[in-house]
Amino acid sequence: MNRRTLLRTLAAHGMAAASANPALRAASAVAAEPQADPSMSPATADPFAAVSSKKGLQVQMNDDAIALGVRHAGLNVNLCDLIAPGAAASDDTILHRHEGGEFRFHRHVVEEHDRRIRELSGHGVLVYLILLVYRHPDETVNRLLIHPKYEASAPNRLGAFNTVTAEGRRWLAATCDFLAGRWSDPAAPHGHAVGYIVGNEVNSHWFWSNRGRGTLAEFAADYEPAVRIVHESVRRHAAWARVYLSLEHHWNIRYEAADADQAFAARPFLEEFARLAHDRGDFDWHVAFHPYPENLFEPRFWNDRTATDGDDTPRITLRNLPVLTRFLAREEMRHRGRPRRVILSEQGFHTPDRPDGETVQAAAYCLAHRLVRDQPGIDAFILHRHVDHAEEGGLRLGLWTRRPDSLATPDRPKRIHECFRAADTPDEESAFAFALPIVGLDSWPAATADGPP
């Protein structure tokens, strides 16, 4: 197969996946709306919100995101900055009562999240909160929220949740109950969140969800209760809100720089997580996946060699997304007969340091947008990043450049910025036309009768 034929096949693959595979056709035919808890009031038992586009962004600047027509927004929420376990009643905190206990949260941190969530959701944006626990200067906070096996020698300061101690489980449950009551209850005035992503890239746990060294089974045994606690807390307030596992693109292999006690492949982890959840009483969890290119410094994902169409593919990137939705459509992975839903909650395209770098980055986005738009089972394509960041190992993934003397202060929009704005608007065809020869196509294939989903 020559390169042009390969690219045509790739571009058509997601669009035709539903008609080619009965399991995926069934997956696209349902919205996976959870059945309401009978104890909940009718006001909270709403279906999951629907919007007209999958276009999303991990938002740094609300005003720019709204002007760009973003329909899905990912926002980080560091729980360690929220809680105030030693605060007195006179401190500037918010008191929350949960299951007989009293829990306090820093008002200024909560209200800054209020501002961002309220502004975005008020413009019709679906907001997904990425729940994280970063190592904190206050050791009491660390003891309550971060896994007791956290290893300080690991990079990134990002811990796993403490589901090991009773005190840790109480604080996690109370914190998530507070967040869901504030941001997912339909009657709340502070803005609305529709999704909660539990941790970050947990299949590379040493780097992004640190609970020290451990096997796949050991990590899953600690992570499943965290996802369950978040799910139970959220569903008390909104039967439609979704809770997601976070996974990166290593599907049948682990991250190469890690050993077996630092990372594992996503596929066997999902199988183990599903088994544990089923054994303990299955619940409605979903998947937040990060299908970066196989080489994060090479935006031309259509050339990825380790992203194949077989179930044994080493990686899942934007080149072979139907492998993921096909896997989640398997009977043993379903919940009440419905496939788990997918959001692509973090992926981006590096700007190579060469004259055509911004053009290649923008072309990669154009192809990715067309593939994801017509891929059944995937609800959102949330781009990372809004602005280049000085501490991303040399990656320049943003829609904007940063000021050279800053961490992530926006300087100027790149070419991808206009492509992103045009996506899913009448301007898309003209704005995307430049990308066709770069990705090796003469025209964008039309969606099948089964797509877009």
226-254 per-position pLDDT tens digit: 999 999 999 999 998 999 999 999 999 99
Residue at 198: amino acid letter: V
- Report CA-CA distances (Å) from 351 to 35, 185, 295, 299, 385: 44, 40, 13, 7, 12
Residue with tokens 């989903």: 453
The pLDDT value recorded for residue 447 is: 55
Domain 3-29+47-439 carries which CATH code? 3.20.20.80
Backbone angles phi, psi at 145, to 5 degrees: -105, -25
Query: What percentage of the chain carries pLDDT values higher than 90?
Result: 83
**What is the amino acid identity at position 181?**
G
User: What's the start-to-end Cα distance of the chain, in Å?
Assistant: 29
pLDDT tens for 2-20 read: 445 445 545 455 444 433 3
The residue that leads in pLDDT, 326 or 13, is 326
412 backbone φψ class: left, alpha, beta (φ>0; ψ -120 to 50): beta
Question: Phi and psi at residue 119, in whole multiples of 5°?
Answer: -65, -45
Q: How far apart are CA 11 and CA 14, in angstroms?
A: 7
381 forms beta bridges with 55, 344
* Predicted confidence (pLDDT) at residue 209 exceeds the cutoff of 70: yes
30: pLDDT strictly greater than 90? no
Mean pLDDT for 190-204 is 97
385-406: pLDDT as tens digits = 999 999 999 999 999 999 999 9
Average pLDDT, the chain: 90
DSSP 299: -
The string of pLDDT tens digits covering residues 412-430 is 999 999 999 999 999 999 9
46 — pLDDT class (breaks 50, 70, 90): very low
Q: At which residue do the structure tokens 């196509």 appear?
A: 441
Q: What is the pLDDT of residue 7?
A: 53
Query: Which tokens sit at 119?
Result: 């502004």
Question: ∠ at Cα 195 (193, 198), nearest 5°?
Answer: 125
Radius of gyration of the chain (CA): 21
pLDDT at 445: 78
* Residue range 25-40: mean pLDDT, rounded: 35
pLDDT at 10: 57
Is beta strand 378-383 parallel, antiparallel or unpaired with respect to 342-347?
A: parallel
Instruction: Name every residue whose Cβ is closer than 8 Å to that of residue 82 and which is 6 or more positions away in sequence.
Output: 105, 106, 109, 110, 175
Average pLDDT for 17-44: 35
Query: Is the model's pLDDT at 171 over the cut of 80?
Result: yes
236 contacts 180 by C-beta, under 8 angstroms = yes
Mean pLDDT of the 59-67 span: 98
CA distance 147 to 162: 4
Per-residue pLDDT tens over the stretch 121-163: 999 999 999 999 999 999 999 999 999 999 999 999 999 999 9
DSSP 3-state assignment of 321?
Answer: coil
Domain residue ranges in the chain:
3-29+47-439
pLDDT per position as a tens digit, 262-302: 999 999 999 999 999 999 999 999 999 999 999 999 999 99
Cβ atoms of 283 and 226 within 8 Å: the answer is no
**CA distance linking residue 147 with residue 211, whole number of Å:** 6
Residues 41-56, mean pLDDT to the nearest whole number: 71
Q: What is the mean pLDDT of residues 309-320?
A: 97
CA 208/CA 362 separation, integer angstroms: 28
The predicted-structure confidence for 101-118, as pLDDT tens digits, reads as follows: 999 999 999 999 999 999
Tell me the backbone φ, ψ of residue 346, rounded to 5 degrees: -165, 120
Rounded Cα distance, 396 and 415, in Å = 13
* pLDDT surpasses 60 at 39: no
- Backbone φ and ψ of 266, nearest 5°: -70, -40
- CB contact at 8 A, 269 and 227: no
Band the pLDDT of 221: cuts 50, 70, 90.
Answer: very high
DSSP 8-class letter at 354: S
* pLDDT tens column, 363-391: 999 999 999 998 999 999 999 999 999 99
Can you tell me the distance from the alpha carbon of 2 to that of 6, in angstroms, rounded to the nearest whole number?
6
Q: Are 145 and 362 in contact (CB under 8 A)?
A: no
Alpha helix segments (H runs only) across 58-134: 62-67, 79-82, 107-122
